[in-house]
Structure 1
């Protein structure tokens, strides 16, 4: 079986692929490379966990209302 071209796949496509092929470490690393190469990443400290929880809940509410 031929593997897909992970470099050409979007993050969403890679996530979907990984849900079906959970043991594919090559695909996992390709996804992590895409995620870490994104500009403007935000990292939170332990003290900022409450803010992160708020952001997640806001995102969920937004998706439910869309």
Structure 2
């Protein structure tokens, strides 16, 4: 029996998807929770070595759940 992805907290759903990479239903549930592009945060970093480093740091913080 699969968990109820609609009620599962986001962090638990991410952990489940990582542990069950073949479960397309779980992956779809995670993708459907993403913010629409109109609500997304867009970052415009210059295409330089420093800009790449800044972008990687932002991504690292987002992946770790930091702001």
Q: Distance between the aligned counterparts of 1:24 and 1:8, measured in 2? A: 17
Q: Distance between the aligned counterparts of 1:15 and 1:32, measured in 2? A: 10
Give 1 or 2: higher helix fraction. Answer: 1
Unaligned runs of 5+ in 2: none
Normalising by structure 1, what TM-score? 0.61
Shift in Å, 1:10:
1.5
Tell me the matched-pair count. Answer: 56
Which of structures 1 and 2 has the larger relative contact order (alpha carbons within 8 angstroms, sep 6+)? 1
Normalising by structure 2, what TM-score? 0.60
Root mean square deviation, CA, Å: 2.8
Unaligned runs of 5+ in 1: none
